[in-house]
Amino acid sequence: MTNIERKRVVITGLGAITPIGNTLSEYWEGLLAGKNGIGPITLFDPSRHDCRFAAEVKGYDPHDYLERKEAKRMDRFAQFGVSASKQAVADAKFEINDLNAEQVGVILGTGIGGLKVLEDQQEIYLNRGPDRCSPFMIPMMIANMAAGLTAIHTGAKGPNSCPVTACAAGSNAVGDAFRLVQGGYAQAMICGGTEAAVTPLCVAGFAAARALSTRNDDPTHACRPFDRDRDGFVVGEGAGILMLEEMEYALARGAKIYAEIVGYGLTCDAYHMTSPVPGGNGASRAMALALKDAGLTPDQVSYINAHGTSTLPNDSTETKAIKQTLGDHAYKVAISSTKSMTGHLLGGSGGIEAVATVMAIANDKIPPTINLENPDPECDLDYVPHTSRDLKVDVALSNSFGFGGHNVTLAFKKFVP
Amino acid sequence: MSQDDIFTRVQKIVKEQLEVELSEVKPEANFANDLGADSLDTVELVMALEEEFDIEIPDEAAEGITTVQACVDYINSQLAAPKA
């Protein structure tokens, strides 16, 4: 696409169901306050597991958003996705009607899909046989159903899909939606990521891959990105959703505009199923491509919402990648891992972190990295430890990397008409 | 089991499965038109009734059961029939 053909794309609505708050304002205030969303697992009995804590969503009632029967027919990941999408559309004061419905689409990413319903049905299958499996198992489980149900519940009849790129899925969703609006294929897109994988098999599987923290005696200090004592990520759940709109369309209807989305970079390591390529070249190229796509230079970046999972390989590799892309400016940019508070929402993380990045731009405030007590010598950048910071944010990046070697960077900018 | 007992048990299951009020589950109520059951709901409802009454309801029979009363009648006929 040439610049002449590209339409500008702005963010006009945000929604969030997270381990630290179930509305946009609760989430954002929680991030600025350094609120910790991690605690013992309550969604199942974790006593046999090596990791017995997670970042669960608390106090969420699907019936605030859905009729009883609708809620019963959805896995938790779809409930989160639909609920946060409804928040974002309402926040944007965007009315989807007969005139515009075909110009409004949905892209919701997820890493895992409806694992809870699959686990429950597998038990029924083994104990009671194939004839007792629910007719709702497949529709509730398949990963794309959050996107499908969001369309059903909002009336959005335009482009609709679901990237399943592990922990990069939410960011892929936002980037793909950005491209569709930019290219004139939709006027508005509901996009982001959702996940509800605090389940026995998911926790067992990630623990077996040695990806999880096992700091069971001190869960609130378990997620410590960039710290020398980090020992793995903490599974989280929830959804983060953005309403993207073509700028002229948003201005014409007098919409409030949080920020502009200006760049999307995506690469693959082509190296290993779960480990990042040493040196972080894949991640570095994603950041560079996002900047190039946006027509920005590295020195213009004020803030990076890092992938920052708190695993040993990620945080040092991501640090190297940031240095490779930004050069000396890497030492001047504010970087934080909000996963230190929310845990790792897998496919949902790109969604809630895009929301956090947009809010940083809109409010000129940087959420902190909590639990960063003893920085790893290999992690020597400014990670905004412990407390939030007031800082004018003109350009911000959000990084997401996933198993499979997927690297995604989104670039956002303060909106100037 | 009396027709009334069957009706009471059917009523309870339909209420739970379809998330409707007990008072809506009248004998003449049509599952699709009055109680909002779609094709997947119907499959699940039939499974729940099979478990409750320990009977089998073949698909061909299920297709013909469109109202609560028809459902009660079918179950009654199955319970009355001698088991093979």
Q: Are residues A362 and A318 in the same domain?
A: yes
Check CB contact under 8 Å for B19 and A134. no
Nearest chain B residue to A71 by CA distance is B19
Give the pLDDT of residue A262: 98
Give the domain extent around A397: 264-413
Q: Are residues A229 and A356 in the same domain?
A: no
Nearest to A326, CA basis, from A391, A381, A385: A381
Give the pLDDT of residue A276: 95
Alpha-carbon distance of B29 to B18, in angstroms, equals 13
Element spanning B17, H or E: helix B3-18
Check CB contact under 8 Å for A69 and B36. yes
Active site residue B38: yes
Q: Are residues A310 and A391 in the same domain?
A: yes
Give the pLDDT of residue B81: 78
Q: Are residues A55 and A145 in the same domain?
A: yes
Give the pLDDT of residue A124: 96
Nearest to A81, CA basis, from A209, A228, A206, A193: A193
Higher pLDDT among residues A35 and B81, named by residue: A35
Complex confidence, ipTM: 0.86
Q: How many structural domains does chain B have? A: 1
Q: What is the CATH number of the domain that holds A101?
A: 3.40.47.10
Give the pLDDT of residue A215: 98
Residue A2 falls inside a structural domain: no
Chain A residues touching residue B47 (CB < 8 angstroms): 131-132, 134
DSSP assigned state of B83: P
Q: Are residues A102 and A236 in the same domain?
A: yes
Give the pLDDT of residue A1: 53
- Give per-10-residue mean pLDDT for chain A (417 aa): 79 98 98 98 98 98 96 97 98 97 98 97 96 96 98 98 98 98 98 98 97 98 98 98 98 98 98 95 98 98 98 97 98 98 98 98 98 98 98 98 98 97
* CB of B36 less than 8 A from some CB of A: yes
Query: How far is A42 from chain B, CA to nearest CA, in Å?
Result: 26
Phi–psi pair at A359, nearest 5 degrees = -65, -35
Give the pLDDT of residue A2: 54
Task: Please identify, among A201, A223, A252, the residue that sits at the C-terminal boundary of a domain.
Answer: A252
Per the listing, tokens 């592990």 go with A166
Q: Which of A67, A68, A69 to mutate to test the interface with B (most CBs of B within 10 A)?
A: A69
As a whole number, mean pLDDT of residues B56-75 equals 94
Tell me which residues of A are annotated as active site.
167, 307, 344
Give the domain extent around B39: 3-80
Q: Are residues A196 and A317 in the same domain?
A: no
Q: How many structural domains does chain A have? A: 2
Q: What is the CATH number of the domain that holds B67?
A: 1.10.1200.10
Check CB contact under 8 Å for B19 and A68. yes
Q: Are residues A163 and A201 in the same domain?
A: yes
* pTM of the predicted structure, to 2 decimals: 0.96
* CB of B22 less than 8 A from some CB of A: no
Nearest chain B residue to A131 by CA distance is B47
Chain B residues touching residue A129 (CB < 8 angstroms): none
**Other C-beta atoms within 10 Å of A253: how many?**
13
Q: Are residues A205 and A340 in the same domain?
A: no
Q: Are residues A131 and A227 in the same domain?
A: yes
